[in-house]
Amino acid sequence: MKFSTAFLLGLALSTSVEGSRSRGLKGSMSTGTAGDDDAASMMSMKGKKAKGKKSKKTKGKKAKKAKGKKAKKAKKSKGKKGPSGDYDDDGPPPAPTAIAGDDDADPDDLEDALDADATALLTRPCNVARPQAPRDLSTDSSGLVVEGSNSITPMKASPPSWALEPSMFHVNTHFHEGSEHKSDSYNIERDGENGFWCPIDVPVDQMEKYVFQYCTGVEVGGTYEFHWVHSSGGRVFGAGLGNAFSLVNNPSVQVWAQTILVVNTPVASDSDFSIDSPSMNGREFIPVSSYIGSTTGGSYNNKLCSPYEVSWTVDTDCVTVSAEQLDEVCKDLIERGLEADAHPHKTRKLVAPEWTVPTSEVEMYEIYSYVDQA
């Protein structure tokens, strides 16, 4: 979720990090706020207040030590390329971004960013976070986050549609290895790996090796969950979920999510899978589930959760996509300055039921061709 990229959700969180990188932002589609009530202001204003408060309390040796550490970090970050290849109207983005849930963040940068103040902004203990994602969308799934528990009042997700409201902007497209969500169509597990896989029930000749020119870390027969991220936060297209949350304090964010199985077949003349939209794959209707959750990614788990709210619309079918067509999407990502998204991101482990909304809060729909709705 680049003119800033979007659905399902790598389902699109860019954090402006200044000095010690204690500022963080992010976004999702139509309804919801990014973060919980205690972190409603996750932008630079809160970062500056926290910074000012700390500087007054810090004296003597501690002040020198903190100053030296910040200077060292600033020097380290100088000259690095930011997460977005595009600039907004105010010029280039501030230095590199590193936030929890941003799979492309350098481990050292992420560690630097996660000091005490940043951690309070970027993550929450799961018992005080909003409902999480990815969720089990199987027919027998359950969720336990109900109204009043953990001071949370779940919100109904907006009725899904491939068409967007005028205030929503496509800010990112990225994908994860294995499906982050689980459904009746993609539910195969692999030992020691997060995520789920589609059954491979296609002819053997469709499993022949394909040499990708643009995508990296992908293969024929692989299962990947694509996220098309849309945000009310602005038009800038950027890597990962960064730009979904970067321009306003509490943008609305929606992610379209679709799980694909890569096959080695010619691209169909009517194929519609692209950097901008999920695939109908010859279907008259798309079965989707819509719910309120959070951002995803390998940096979160069932103890440390995301504070950012996302409205998810998830295709519950496993869709076959030509390797050639997938490579074309990666080419488009690279051309838009999103090299970091031309390979699969890490996958968050399926969220435990106690941190997800109950099945009664998950709306199931059949969406007719998004082309007709656009």
pLDDT, tens digit (0-9, with 9 covering 90-100), for 54-109: 444 444 554 455 455 544 444 444 444 333 333 333 333 333 333 333 444 443 43
Neighbouring C-alpha atoms within 13 Å toward the C-beta of 64: 2
Give 118-136 pLDDT, tens digit per residue.
445 577 888 888 889 999 9
What pLDDT, on a 0 to 100 scale, did the predictor assign at position 90? 35
What band does 165 get if pLDDT is binned at 50, 70 and 90?
A: low
What one-character-per-residue DSSP string does 40-75 give? S--SHHHHHHHHHHHHHH--HHHHHHHHHHHHHHHH
Question: What is the C-alpha separation between 295 and 35, in angstroms, rounded?
Answer: 10
Entry pTM: 0.66
Amino acid at 178: G
Whether residue 307 is preceded by a cis peptide bond, meaning omega within 30 degrees of 0, is no
